[in-house]
A and B are shown apart, each in its own frame.
Chain A
Amino acid sequence: MTAAAEILLPLNPGIWLIVGALIAVLLPQTLSRWFAVILPVFLIAFLFSLNFDNYGAISFLNYNLETFRLDSLSRIFGLIFLIASALGNLYALGDDVNKLQCSAALAYAGGTIAAVFAGDMITLFIFFEIATIASVFLIWARRTERAFTAGMRYLIFQIGAGVILLAGLLVHVSATGSIDFDKIGLDASGGILILTAFGIKSAFPLVHNWLQDAYPEATISGTVILSGFTTKLAIYALARSYAGTEILIWIGAVMAVFPIFYAIIENDLRRVLTYSLNVQLGFMVVGIGIGTEIALNGAVSHAVVHILYKALLLMSMGAVLLRTGTCNASELGGLVKTMPWTAAFCIVGAISASAFPLFSGFISKSMIITAAGEQGYWIIWLILLFASAGVLYHSGIRIPYFAFFSEDKGHDAKEAPRPMLLAMCIAAFLCVIIGVFPALLYTMLPFPVDYDPYTVYHVINQLQLLMFAALAFTVLKLINIYPSDIQGTNLDTDWFYRKGLMALIIFSNRHINTGCRVVCDSAVGIISKIINSLKLLGNNDGILSRTPALGSSIAWISSLLLLVLLLRFA
């Protein structure tokens, strides 16, 4: 018994969640929905009761798998994932979800968390794939044709990344003999393949489309849950194995900038947030690429706070979608009167996202920007500042403004359901508390922090930036140039981008998206043609499936015999 206890007790919390997902299917509907909220909370306590160590070592195929590696880096990610899971499932109580969706959400979080605690790449791969498969059900649960096809495209990207990861892993293992999930770097064999896989999962530029394509098509609570896990797991994996890889700095910088333009022209506010998600991932990737202690701390803490405020923003937009049936900027407005609490929480999220001092985004984002400055990447530093201004513009101002304050479109909306409000309230509270007492977060980071965000220089610098960005918005608004209530597709009259840039963006956006679609669809077409021709081979009357006459089989046998006999003359 003691042996069993030794194996069971320090079981990877992710595995507990996956077990919980199986239990959730068996429970009655209501019970299963509450179970999904409570289980992660228990696991948070469980996580704090353990010391840093490698637990759950099992031997598999002559490799020693470390199924539960608890160190400072994995603990903070595991913790925030558990919090996100609890909040997401709490939020889902206000949405009309069935228990299958509950179970998928638990399995998705479980797979992600188990992968975070994986000490070796085999375990990582297995749980990454479990998470992927569970997550697509959150998209399909919307039960619309669009959601189904978007889910399919999502699955193609994700499984493709999984296959590349497996390939890289195999190359790496067969060359080095080591399955350790630690620093890999580009020079290691298989390093490029593994980076590509993580890159797809963390939505690197040009392979980012699955994110904006699929996430807004998920169910209301599904989008909230999806936003937290896959990409941040990829960020964790990058931080673990590619810290200090210089190319990531530039990739991250591109990531932080180009989605901003899309975010501004996009009409669907939930899709705006997914573009903004991409921007924030760019910040983290830059931090990982710089690879100094402060940069990594910045990337990690940004991942943590970003999960919280992005979830908060998506929750508030989800509540709007639930009550009004739309999330398009052009059809919303004036909801502050009917949904005041949702509006308030949304503003907290927006302020956190735009990194106002005393809110969570500030204490993490400024670390990355400072690290870029310290290492002398001045161009990167400027790009990140520009991106910060952009974030303020589309997440900080545009989202709450269009949803809650612009001209009333006469929606007869009610306040969000209680569980949703509660989830938003907790998320907002966490955003503020982390912003006010950054030490809470800093003590849990992988490296000791001697960084104080609240110096005069940092605060003034940030405030200046925010004020000028806000000023720009106000001015544009006052002189009626900012195209507020027209359909998103018409926004390309925007004066700032009129000189071709906008056309280019829309053009490239459309073509990257349609390009991906064309590839996927034509792949399907080609495959169905192949299948039809294979049918001729394989179906009941096909060559391969017929029972041939004995004579012809004997002819085959004798010709093979001849072949082997003749080989000696080869």
Chain B
Amino acid sequence: MNFILPHLPVLQVAIPLIAAPVCVLFTFGGHRKLAWLFTLAISWVCFLIAVALLSRVLLDTDISYAIGNWPPPFGIEYRVDPINAFVLLIISGISAIALPFARLSVEKEIETDRHILFYTSYLLCLTGLLGVTITGDAFNIFVFLEISSLSTYVLIATGVRQNRRALTAAYNYLILGTIGATFFVIGIGLLYMVTGTLNIGDLAERLQPLSDNRVVHAAFAFIVIGMGLKLALFPMHVWLPNAYTYAPSLVTVFLAATSTKVSVYVLLRFLFTAFGPSYDFVTLTFEFVLLPLAIVAMFAGSLTAIFQTNAKRLFAYSSVAQLGYMMLGVSLSNIPGLMATILHIFNHALMKGALFMALGCVMYRLGTVSLGSMKGLSRSMPWTMGALILGGLSLIGVPGTVGFISKWHLILGTLEAGYWPIAILIVGSSLLAVIYIWKIVEVAYLEKGINREEIVKEAPISMLAPLWVLVILNFYFGIDADLTTWVARNVAETFLGAGA
């Protein structure tokens, strides 16, 4: 084993990358189940690697891995520190939990002859997200971002069997996502122009004397907007609701829990490692762009969610609001605020993973997730609906759930920054979450069931088990938040210490 351990960083990306083309080989003979099993196994391997990396980083020091033995900054460097090890864990962990759920869900929602290609795209998407996170090279980030984005467009489009609007949703996302990626690569190009380096650590050093350089400012603007688009910062969120609504359940679970989080991570990386909050143009952007947009997002997202009639769309808009919380934490740029963002990357992955998975169960049994069809569903699907409500409590931020941990730090952050009216706004927007969760309670628990042609049964155990794992994690990390807060504090201190 010893000869593998030093190569874990590259294996984290290389294994799913190589696995993707291998998965295509299952088309010979049409081994659909094997393809699923293979993807599951790869996911678990990735998860174990991520656990190993995180524990090494936390207990020991940051890892720097030079690809092909080209020393950084000349070659591509994979750099693992607590923040990206944490994000790697989230991505691979969600994938590992979601795949047992996937088999039946995919069976039901995607045309049979496309299953193997679906899993291939899924592996590529996983590769892309892991690669974006682990690499320490700015251009490499762009490359992996494109890998994940292109495969995401495909994954969303496979929802066509349920609803043909999946195609337009994928197309819209393709256009906007490409604009975002282009902005990002323009930003990187500009930085390369003035600094001559693509390594992020190296960039940070070389940017120090260039704080008045206009090219740097332009690069910053392009990167912030590009990533803002990818992470669906209001009002650049318009691709998100349709993409989440019409994608197959598994894709929604995976994307909602990981994809936007990775973009948040990239933004954090550039804001705090490459640029640093000591520059005027960074703090001005925080104050005049990110902060107001974040607050508008909190309210606009939740308000729109309240009026939705499709449960997936409802939670998609709620994601817009939740991303507002994350951006709010960033824009405060103090320790508790940043901690809230980092915690919420993790916590939101848990809650949205659970919520969309519960909706996946509903989809599996009913073939639709419109609120009208869920009337009285708590009686026929008690475990699914129970999970949905518990996940909803976490989304609201009820004490004892992970949502509370994030909001607590966020409120402390606003108070520390002296923005106490914003603290009130946070509580206010949480009340909006109460309303839309209550809508579901009302529909599923209080209304009479509708007459259905056939009796609706509870979702199968292979779908319920992963769902409840996520629900329990929502409560576990809401009560024992030591690990997550420790990582978050560690990261927040590094980020702010580096900039100060």
Contact = CB atoms under 8 A, between A and B. Distances in A.
Chain B, interface SS category: helix
Interface string A204-226: 00000000000000000000000
Given A174-B415, A564-B220, A564-B225, A61 B405 contact: yes
Interface in A514-565: 534-535, 537-540, 542, 544-545, 547-548, 550, 553-554, 556-557, 560-561, 563-565
Given A565-B221, A567-B288, A557 B229 contact: yes
A455 interface: no
Interface residues of A, number: 38
Interface in B159-211: 172, 175-176, 179, 183
Given A545-B307, A567-B288, A61 B221 contact: no
Contacts of B480: 58-60
A109 to B, nearest CB: 20
B307 A538 contact: yes
Contacts of B228: 560
A62 interface: yes
Given A170-B411, A560-B225, A547 B308 contact: no
A561 B238 contact: no
B116 interface: no
Interface string A147-190: 00000000000000001001000110110000000000000000
A564 B275 CA distance: 15
B221 A564 contact: yes
Nearest to A561: B225
Contacts of A538: 303-307
B281 interface: yes
B34 interface: no
A430 interface: no
A163 B426 CA distance: 13
A556 B239 CA distance: 13
Interface in A349-390: none
A568 interface: yes
A537 B303 contact: yes
Nearest to B288: A567
A545 B241 CA distance: 9
A553 B175 CA distance: 11
A563 B289 contact: yes
A570 interface: yes
Given A174-B416, A538-B304, A550-B175, A126 B399 contact: yes
A82 B183 CA distance: 65
Nearest to B336: A174
A567 B214 CA distance: 12
Interface in A82-130: 122, 125-126
A167 to B, nearest CB: 8
A107 to B, nearest CB: 15
Contacts of A540: 307-309
B471 to A, nearest CB: 17
B415 A126 contact: no
A560 B481 contact: no
Contact of B176 (A61, A62, A550, A560): A550
B304 A545 contact: yes
B485 interface: yes
Contact of A561 (B222, B280, B317, B399): B222
A174 B336 CA distance: 11
B303 A567 contact: no
A301 B303 CA distance: 50
A556 B480 CA distance: 42
Interface string B276-299: 000011001100110000000000
Interface in A444-485: none
Contacts of B289: 560, 563-564, 567
A62 B490 CA distance: 13
A238 B284 CA distance: 45
A560 B289 CA distance: 8
B262 interface: no
Interface in B352-398: none
A538 B423 CA distance: 24
B285 A567 contact: yes
Contacts of B229: 557
A336 B226 CA distance: 83
A59 B176 contact: no
A59 B236 CA distance: 39
B408 A545 contact: no
Q: Which 10 A-B pairs have the closest CB atoms?
A: A564-B221, A538-B307, A539-B307, A544-B304, A538-B304, A174-B415, A561-B225, A565-B221, A567-B284, A553-B238
26 contacts: A59-B480, A60-B479, A61-B405, A171-B415, A173-B412, A534-B303, A534-B306, A534-B307, A537-B304, A538-B305, A542-B307, A545-B304, A547-B172, A547-B242, A550-B175, A553-B176, A553-B238, A554-B176, A554-B179, A560-B228, A560-B289, A561-B221, A564-B289, A565-B217, A567-B288, A567-B289
Given A537-B303, A547-B242, 18 more contacts: A58-B480, A59-B480, A61-B409, A174-B415, A534-B303, A539-B307, A540-B308, A545-B307, A547-B172, A550-B172, A550-B176, A557-B176, A560-B228, A560-B235, A561-B222, A561-B225, A564-B225, A567-B288
Interface of A: 58-62, 122, 125-126, 163, 166, 170-171, 173-174, 534-535, 537-540, 542, 544-545, 547-548, 550, 553-554, 556-557, 560-561, 563-565, 567-568, 570
